[in-house]
Amino acid sequence: MNILAIGDVVGSVGCRFLRAHLPTLKKLKGVDLVICNGENSADGNGITPVSAEYLFQSGVDVITTGNHAFRRREMYTVFDSCETILRPANFPEGGAPGRGWLVYDMGRIQVGVINLMGVVYMEPLDNPFDAADRILAAGLPKITLVDFHAEATGEKKSLAYYLDGRVSAVFGTHTHVQTADEQILPNGTGYLSDLGMTGPIHSVLGVKPELTIEKMHRHMPVRFDLASDPCEMDCALFTIDDKTGRSLSVERFIIK
Ligand SMILES: [Fe+2]
Ligand SMILES: [Fe+2]
């Protein structure tokens, strides 16, 4: 089973780039399932019903999110109603709409997807390690992948080792910068600290550099506008043994 994971899609410019390249990539690599982080897919941050639908129409099967999941109010009912859009599972009980994990039924095989958020240099959500334990105790399929939306590589890799042998893969999102540390952990869990992003190359995390320079240099509030083309699409392909659920290989690439 080949599962493609795509890094944070940034704005309509990133969405268009994904649509232009995903179909060919799926054919080329024999992709069975596509998971994509869509937390920044709307222009002006967050995710909207329109940007989510655009990603699905472009060939994405499961959308994960992160700290920008709930920027747009119009999305709250969609989180509740659409089973293939996730938000981090470790939001406190009873507040956030939607769900943090799912089982995707592919007929002959089922695939679990879990979305978690880090708590190091991020909002103090529930402990992601305990949240993962609780979800896995519910009995997820042999093939299960985790999108760990987090800032710190130390936290990401610790969670990956914590789940090694219990899930097929752990990949990070959120930093918008792809890491070069793909590997298979000792007990068969595929790993990459961060997938990267799908968005403008000449940007800072998708944003026009002159705006982030102003923010970083002067520390004054700045409205972040997105940069424009050319774009790249950062992703990783996890090839997973259907019988054991272990990762056989992790291939990382950047489409330009
Ligand atoms: Fe993001
Ligand atoms: Fe994020």
Per-residue confidence band for 160, with pLDDT thresholds at 50, 70 and 90: very high
Ligand showing the shortest atom-to-Cα distance for residue 47: 1
Distance (angstroms) between ligand 1 centre and the Cα of 176 equals 6
Nearest to 1 by CA among 42, 38, 35, 47: 35
Per the DSSP assignment, residues forming a β-bridge with 172 are 148
Q: Is 149 a catalytic residue?
A: no
Domain limits for position 225 = 2-255
Beta strand extents in the chain (DSSP E only): 2-6, 8-9, 33-37, 62-64, 101-105, 110-117, 143-149, 169-173, 183-184, 190-192, 197-200, 231-240, 247-255
Task: Give the pLDDT of residue 90.
Answer: 98
Ligand showing the shortest atom-to-Cα distance for residue 151: 2
Per-residue confidence band for 235, with pLDDT thresholds at 50, 70 and 90: very high
Q: Look up the CATH number of the domain holding residue 126.
A: 3.60.21.10
User: Quick check: pTM over 0.85?
Assistant: yes
Nearest to 143 by CA among 164, 121, 166: 166
Distance (angstroms) between ligand 2 centre and the Cα of 8 equals 8
Question: Which residues lie near ion ligand 1 (Cβ < 5 Å)?
Answer: 8, 40
Structure tokens of 149?
């939306």
- Residue of 21, 68, 149, 176 with catalytic role: 68
In the predicted structure, residue 151 carries a pLDDT above the cut 90? yes
Residue with tokens 């944003």: 207
Domain total in the chain: 1
Q: Is residue 152 exposed (0-12), middle (13-18) or buried (19+ Cβ within 10 Å)?
A: middle
Per-residue confidence band for 67, with pLDDT thresholds at 50, 70 and 90: very high
Distance (angstroms) between ligand 2 centre and the Cα of 221 equals 19
Hey, is 173 helix, strand or coil? strand
- Structure confidence by residue, pLDDT tens digits, 80-97: 999 999 999 999 999 999
